[in-house]
């Protein structure tokens, strides 16, 4: 039984996921230029990119990496928004909107490239994206 199963026996996700690395418990005082609170996708991505930029960074996690939404979602890598039209975002927010749409557009490739680069074993499959539509309005968005 993994450490996560022992600590959080109610989680199906923990029960079917290979155990993560054993990590040290925070004790006493530590020091880093940047401290990231929370080891979900957001915190780990921030920490990884800071480290790649040469910044001294530490991650503090209350449970274990991926314990929040990042470790218990549907696992779909979807480079779209469910409702807003990218053109509307650019029209409303200008250059910032363009940057946001570009991040969104490239997000799936960014994720899969990162997993390949670091050889992260996440059972990932990059096989394309099917967008079913059921109304004229949805066709416009698709
Ligand atoms: C049911 C469900 C299904 C989803 N399906 C999808 C999907 O298919 N595709 C998709 O792209 N997105 C999906 N999402 C959304 C996606 O999972 C989240 O947007 C994403 O995981 C958020 O990541 P995060 O790092 O911001 O937060 P989290 O993953 O929640 O990470 C926060 C971390 O911070 C830690 N923490 C909190 N407070 C403290 C503290 N005080 N000190 C130390 N640590 C702390 C927590 O333990 C946790 O590990 C889904 C979400 C849910 C809930």
pLDDT along the chain (142 residues), means of 10: 54 78 91 97 97 98 91 87 85 97 93 94 86 82 69
> Ligand 1 within 6 A of 43 CB?
yes
> Ligand 1 within 6 A of 42 CB?
yes
For residue 101, the Cα-to-chain-centroid distance in whole angstroms is 17
Taking Cα atoms as reference points, which of 11, 73, 6, 17 lies closest to residue 42? 73
pTM to 2 decimals? 0.86
83: which strand partners?
none
8 Å CB contact between 60 and 35 = yes
Q: Among 42, 60, 68, 123, which is best to mutate for testing ligand 1, by the most ligand atoms less than 8 A from CB?
A: 68
- How far does residue 25's CA lie from ligand 1's centre (Å)? 21
């Amino acid at each position: 039984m993994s450490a996560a199963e022992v600590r959080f026996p109610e989680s199906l996700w923990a029960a079917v996921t290979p155990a993560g690395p054993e990590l040290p418990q925070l004790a006493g005082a530590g020091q880093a230029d940047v401290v990231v609170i929370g080891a979900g996708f957001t915190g780990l991505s921030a920490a990884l990119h800071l480290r790649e930029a040469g910044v001294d960074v530490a991650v503090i996690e209350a449970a274990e990496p991926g314990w929040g939404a990042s470790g218990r979602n549907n696992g779909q890598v979807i480079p779209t928004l469910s409702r807003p039209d990218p053109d509307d975002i650019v029209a409303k927010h200008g250059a910032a909107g363009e940057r946001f749409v570009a991040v969104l557009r490239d997000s799936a490739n960014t994720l899969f490239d990162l997993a390949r680069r670091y050889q992260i074993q996440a059972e990932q499959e990059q096989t394309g994206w099917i967008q079913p539509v059921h109304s004229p309005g949805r066709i416009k968005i698709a």
